Amino acid sequence: MLSYKVNHLKQLEAEAIYVLRETAAQFEHPALLFSGGKDSILMAHLARKAFHPAKLPFPLLHVDTGHNFPETLDYRDRYVQEAGARLIVGLVQDSIDKGRVTEESGANASRNALQTVTLLDAIEEHGFDACLGGGRRDEEKARAKERFFSHRNDFGEWDPKNQRPELWNIFNGRRQHGEHFRVFPLSNWTEMDVWQYIKLEEIELPSLYFAHRRRVLARGNTLLAESEHVEAGEGEEAEEKTVRFRTIGDMTCTGAVESGADNVEKIIQEVAAARQTERGTRADDRRSETAMEDRKKEGYF
C-alpha cells in the first residue's frame, strides 16, 4: 500500500483540479478572477492542468483599479497570450465615470474597496454565475470559514451565518436566477504550500515578487512604492531600498517588505522564518480588526 501515498502538494493539486472541474460542470458562465498575483496565477496554472489538452473553458476576469503595477499588467498580457485564454477587464475607472462609486480622497485613498462594485458590475454585465477566486483560508480569520463553493445572494453579498454545509467533496452549486457563487479551489493551501508548489512546478511570476531596488515610502507599518498614485505627503520622504512584494494588488495599498530574496528558494526560506502574515503588509486589512469580514459581506473577493 505504501506506493499509494500521495504527498500534501499532490493532494492539494488533485483537490483544486477537482474543484475547477466541478465549477466548469456545474455553472453555465464561470470566470476566473485573475489579478496577476501569485494565487491567481497558481489557480490559472491548475485550471490549465484540469482541462488539458483543451483550452480553459472559461475566461479570465481582471478587475483593474487603474493603479496596477506596470509589471503586473505586462505579466497578465503575456500570460493570456501564452495560455490562449480569453481576458475580460473590468475597469474601476468606468465605475467611477458612470457615477457608480465615488473615489476616496486623502493621503490613504485607495480604490481597493471600489473593486467590489466593478466586480459586481462585471458579473452582471457578462452574466457570470461563478467567479473562481484565489482566496485561501489561512490568509485571514474570516476566510477560515469560507466554503469552496460560496453562495452570494442577488446583491452579491455573503452571509457567513447561513452558509451551505459542505461535506466530503460534494459541492452544491445550485442557484436561483441572479445569484452567483465564488469558488475557491485553493481553500486548503497555505502560503508555504503555494511557494513550494511554484518552485516544484517552476511557475513564472511577475518580477515584483522578487527582491529589487525601488523607491518606497514608509507609511504606518507598511512600505508603499512611490508612484504617480502614491506620492510623499508632508514629512514623508521616499527612500530607495531593496524590497519585494508578498502580495500584489493595488499600488496604493500593497506594501513591500525589505528583503533580499531574489529567487523562489530564498522566498521559501523567508516564508519559513516569517514573522508577519502576508496580509500584515496590506493597509486595507488594518482599518479595523474585522475589516476583512465587513468587506466580504459586501461582496469583496
Partner 1 sequence: MDLLRFTTAGSVDDGKSTLIGRLLYDSKNIFEDQLEAVEVSSRKRGDENVNLALLTDGLRAEREQGITIDVAYRYFATPRRKFIIADTPGHIQYTRNMVTGASTANLAIILVDARKGVIEQTCRHAFIANLLRIQHVVVAVNKMDLVDYNQESYDEIVRSFSDFASRLDNIVEVTFIPISALRGDNVVEKSENMPWFEGPPLLYHLETVYLGSDDNHVDARFPVQWVIRPQSDRFHDFRGYAGRVAGGVFKPGDEVMVLPSGFSSRIRSIETYEGAVEEAFSPLSVAVTLEDEIDISRGDMIVKPNNPPKSGQDIEAMICWFSERKMAPRGKYILRHTTKEVKAIVKEVRYKVNINTLHKIEDDLEFTLNDIGRIALRTSSALFYDSYRRNRNTGSFVLIDEQANETVAAGMIV
Contact set with partner 1 (CB under 8 A):
1-2, 4-8, 10-15, 17-18, 21-22, 24-25, 48-55, 137-138, 141-142, 144-145, 160-161, 163-170, 172, 174-176, 187-188, 190, 192-193, 274-277, 280, 289-290, 293
d(CA 33, CA 48): 14
Closer to partner 1 by Cβ: residue 71 or 293:
293
CA 184 to chain centre: 10
Which of residues 21 and 212 has its CB atom nearest to partner 1 in the complex? 21
128, 23 contact by CB (below 8 A): no
Q: How far is the CB of 114 from partner 1 (least distance, A)?
A: 23
Contacts of 68 (CB under 8 A, 6+ apart): 36, 250, 251
93 vs 172 by CB, closer to partner 1 = 172
Q: How far apart are CA 186 and CA 12, in angstroms?
A: 8
Identify which of residues 67 and 182 has a Cβ nearer to partner 1 in the complex.
182
Which residue, 5 or 213, is less far from partner 1 as judged by CB?
5
| Cell numbers that stand for 80 in this block | 493570456
What phi and psi, each to the nearest 5 degrees, are found at residue 244? -145, 165
Nearest in space to 88 (alpha carbons), one of 124, 138, 114: 124
Closest distance of CB 73 from partner 1, Å: 27
In the complex with partner 1, the residue whose CB is nearer, 226 or 285, is 285
Q: What distance in Å separates the CA atoms of residue 42 and residue 201, rounded to the nearest whole number?
A: 10
Q: Which is nearer to partner 1, 102 or 162 (CB)?
A: 162
Residue type, 33: L
By CB neighbour count within 10 A (0-12 exposed, 13-18 middle, 19+ buried), where does 274 fall? middle
Helix (H, G, I), strand (E, B) or coil at 214: strand
- The CA distance from 90 to 125, in Å, is 10
HSE-up (13 A, CA, CB side) for residue 221: 10
Closer residue to partner 1 (CB): 46 or 122? 46
Q: How far is the CB of 104 from partner 1 (least distance, A)?
A: 24
CB of 271 to partner 1, least distance (A): 11
Calpha distance 246→67 (Å, rounded): 17
d(CA 152, CA 42): 24
In the complex, the smallest distance separating the C-beta of residue 170 from partner 1, rounded to whole angstroms, is: 5
In angstroms, give the least distance from the CB of 17 to partner 1: 4
Nearest approach in angstroms of CB 9 to partner 1 is: 8
Min dist CB 48 to partner 1, Å, is 7
